[in-house]
């Protein structure tokens, strides 16, 4: 079977979020499972620089201008690049300018991505043609629509990484992207009078996947579906909506081999994790003390991520002697709030505004607890990294967080399945109350880490990549009304 992934970013070539991490690992896992997999990406500058061997496969004159299709390899995965400098050769973010305004021609930039994904199934590369085209998030949402317009020359899968981002454009752009106007209706890609790339993927795909079983259920409900609940509920009833957990790429996230850590460790060498904590405290300007719990945040600073709750709970955590190390950027109000806390509590709160991939590894290796109190979280990778590094996740029970973290309740502790701290979406159970009993200590965190690894809960992509269920989906044989779970290996 030949599968083409179509997406806008891929770690480590270009990353703005968790989508890149998935695309950086899933194709390689599928190749190891015997699937012939390639990836199609826009020719953004960072991606072009990372694939210097890319050569021309085809040239076309398209609705978005003249383009070349390039092909090369990265880490053993075949990569197609759309070479269109007039669309993609821009500094900074692939989606917006330096003032954070979306590029005005994004409709063409990402319609082209979908069009090329479809044309690959029609012989754009005369030497390789996919049986399945797998589109990711709204940027690639038009792939299934173009395939439908061409008579479905290949099967399509559309993965929702975050339903909140929908790719909405004015209806007039239907004239610009070479799709029939007959597609612009409620039984198509129209949504609230606009052209929705996301709805195009949801409506025309042969199968839809979400990045966790719980999120697949949540997006059929109004509070999580952003108006798409009717369509998604119908796809669920048709057996065309599944949830499959993301996983961890162990080549990148593994405390035993992570060269970005001050000191590598396993459950048998936990004293080395303590050394990482000491180095992290020094780097963040915190008081060096191996007896106090060190909480961490590595996240975009937004209300969706629940970080206003962390600010609310912070005084109580600090009163109990805890420390906080934060790495992130986003909402100016939240940024100022955490910077003010750092100024008010020197030695207890350390804040770095921005994102640095290498430093995120150091935080994961040195902290005792990683905070992920998201209001919604399709899957979440941060808590998986925490489990891998013995840094216990504190999470809200939603989406993939609910699927991957078991609360340290007395029952779960007795059964040996506890893996972190979980609070409900209520005013009576909050992050602060989860920890108010002073039960979180470095020693207990390390003990939980030992139990996790003894029970086989060290996560890796090989363990969370569910080859059987992906093969079912790619072959169109998934049982009706099936919501996939994933066994932690």
The candidate with the shortest Cα–Cα distance to 184, out of 150, 149, 208, is: 149
Q: Are 28 and 76 in contact (CB under 8 A)?
A: yes
- In sequence order, the β-bridge partners of residue 369 are 295, 392
What is the gyration radius of the CA atoms in the chain, in angstroms? 23
What 8-state DSSP symbol labels residue 96?
B
Q: Are 5 and 39 in contact (CB under 8 A)?
A: yes
Annotated binding residue 15: yes
Output the CA–CA distances (angstroms, integers) from residue 227 to 107, 215, 338, 347, in the order listed: 21, 15, 34, 46
Output the CA–CA distances (angstroms, integers) from residue 260 to 19, 263, 355, 365, 366, in the order listed: 22, 9, 15, 9, 12
> Checking DSSP bridges between strand 36-42 and strand 2-6, what pairing results, if any?
parallel
Q: Name the helix (H) or strand (E) containing 325.
A: strand 323-330
Burial of residue 299 (number of CB atoms within 10 Å: 0-12, 13-18, 19+): buried
Q: Are 212 and 403 in contact (CB under 8 A)?
A: yes
First to last CA, the chain: 26
The stretches of 390-477 forming alpha helices (DSSP H) are 399-404, 410-415, 431-435, 442-454, 461-464, 467-474
State the CB neighbour count (10 A cutoff) for residue 205.
27
* Binding region: 15
* Binding region for ADP-alpha-D-glucose: 15
């Amino acid at each position: 079977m030949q599968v083409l992934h179509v997406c806008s970013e891929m770690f480590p070539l270009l990353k703005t979020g968790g989508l890149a991490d998935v695309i950086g690992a899933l194709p390689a896992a599928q190749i190891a499972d015997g699937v012939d997999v390639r990836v199609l990406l826009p020719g953004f500058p960072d991606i072009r620089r990372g694939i210097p061997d890319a050569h021309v496969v085809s040239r076309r004159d398209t609705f978005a201008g003249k383009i070349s299709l390039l092909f090369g390899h990265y880490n053993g995965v075949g990569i197609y690049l759309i070479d269109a400098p007039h669309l993609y050769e821009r500094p900074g973010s692939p989606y917006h300018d330096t003032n954070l305004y979306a590029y005005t021609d994004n409709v063409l930039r990402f319609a082209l991505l979908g069009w090329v994904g479809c044309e690959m199934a029609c012989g754009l590369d005369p030497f390789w043609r996919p049986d399945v085209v797998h589109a990711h998030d709204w940027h690639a949402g038009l792939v299934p629509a173009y395939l439908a317009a061409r008579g479905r020359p290949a099967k399509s899968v559309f993965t929702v990484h975050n339903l909140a981002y929908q790719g909405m454009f004015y209806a007039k752009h239907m004239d610009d992207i070479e799709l029939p106007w007959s597609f612009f209706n409620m039984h198509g890609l129209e949504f609230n009078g606009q052209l929705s790339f996301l709805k195009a993927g949801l409506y025309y795909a042969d199968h839809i996947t979400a990045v966790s079983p719980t999120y697949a259920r949540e997006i059929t409900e109004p509070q999580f579906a952003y108006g798409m609940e009717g369509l998604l509920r119908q796809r669920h009833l048709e057996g065309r909506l599944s949830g499959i957990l993301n996983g961890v790429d162990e080549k990148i996230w593994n405390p035993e081999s992570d060269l970005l850590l001050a000191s590598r460790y396993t459950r048998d060498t936990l004293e080395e994790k303590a050394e990482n904590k000491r180095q992290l405290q020094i780097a963040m300007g915190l008081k060096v003390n191996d007896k106090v719990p060190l909480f961490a945040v590595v996240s975009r600073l937004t209300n969706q991520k629940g970080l206003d709750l962390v600010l609310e709970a912070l005084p109580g955590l600090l009163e109990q002697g805890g420390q906080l190390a934060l790495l992130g950027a986003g909402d100016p109000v939240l940024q100022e709030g955490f910077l003010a806390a750092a100024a008010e509590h020197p030695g207890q709160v350390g804040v770095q505004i921005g994102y640095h991939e290498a430093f995120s590894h150091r935080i994961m290796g040195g902290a005792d607890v990683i905070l992920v109190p998201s209001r919604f979280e399709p899957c979440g990778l941060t808590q998986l990294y925490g489990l891998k590094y013995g840094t216990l996740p504190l999470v809200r029970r939603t989406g993939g967080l609910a699927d991957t973290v078991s609360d340290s309740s007395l029952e779960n502790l007795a059964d040996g399945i506890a893996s972190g701290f979980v609070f409900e979406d209520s005013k009576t159970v909050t992050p602060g109350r989860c920890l108010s009993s002073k039960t979180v200590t470095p020693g207990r965190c390390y003990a939980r880490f030992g139990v996790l690894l003894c029970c086989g809960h060290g996560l890796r992509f090989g363990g969370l990549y569910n080859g059987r269920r992906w093969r079912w989906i790619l072959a169109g044989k998934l049982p009706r009304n099936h919501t996939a779970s994933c066994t932690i290996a």
